[in-house]
Amino acid sequence: MDTVTTSFKTRLQSFFQAYIRPAVVITLLLTVLTGLIYPGIVTALAQIIFPYQANGSLHTVNGKVIGSDLIGQYWTSPRYFHGRPSATINPTTGTPEPYAADNSAASNLGPTNKNLIDSVQQRVQQLQKENPGVPVPADLVTSSGSGLDPDITPAAAYFQIPRVAHERGLSQEAVKQLVDQNTQGRFLFIFGEPHVNVLQLNLALDQLKP
């Protein structure tokens, strides 16, 4: 009996040393490496190399955070450029709440869905009243997949120039120059499409004097 017990203990110790201990040690090492050291190094480098982006690309006015380059906002004043329509809803009430940052969502309506067709047509008609005779850019009447898109196409920005210039008492040429200055090209000249960040453009707009 003692011999059997001793043999079992020996095999158990061998199993522990061969399999359990290495597994535990590797798990602990990887936890420290990937959970503490690596994130710490990446965070430190990010704060040194590009702190603005690392902290959320936030804009501050008079000590108050007013928005981020990464999350769109619901602009309604005619004095400002507007972003794309948003299909986000309030997660508590279930009612539409454009650019609800805590509930990113698309409309999930197919291209033949009557509700989608009707809503797009209504937006087109409304925008045509604002700028008669000018083709309405698609991104001004369709929501993005996230409902939080912070950018619009240069065409969408140009479309709004007459309204913004009129409301602010500025020349259309001055506003157009501002749009051009805030138009970002393709990444590495090949990826993506030219776009305009609405928040950046509106902040620059506030700096223009009539």
Give the domain ranges of the chain.
Answer: 2-52, 57-205
- Please state, as a whole number, how many other Cβ atoms lie within 10 Å of the Cβ of residue 130: 13
- Please state, as a whole number, how many other Cβ atoms lie within 10 Å of the Cβ of residue 207: 7
* Residue 151 to residue 95: CA distance in whole angstroms: 24
The β-bridge partners of 151 are 197
* Residue 34 to residue 25: CA distance in whole angstroms: 14
Q: What is the mean pLDDT of the chain?
A: 91
Please give the radius of gyration of the chain, using alpha carbons only, rounded to the nearest integer.
28
Tens-binned pLDDT, residue by residue, of the chain (210 aa): 466 667 777 877 887 777 888 888 889 999 999 999 999 999 999 999 989 888 889 999 888 999 999 999 999 999 999 999 999 988 888 788 999 888 888 888 888 999 999 999 999 999 999 899 899 999 999 999 899 999 999 999 999 999 999 999 999 999 999 999 999 999 988 999 999 999 999 999 999 877
The β-bridge partners of 59 are 67
Q: For the chain, what is the largest distance between any 2 Cα atoms, rounded to a whole number of angstroms?
A: 101
Residue 182 near residue 194 (C-beta atoms within 8 A): no
- Taking alpha carbons only, the member of 147, 65, 64, 161 closest to residue 56 is 65
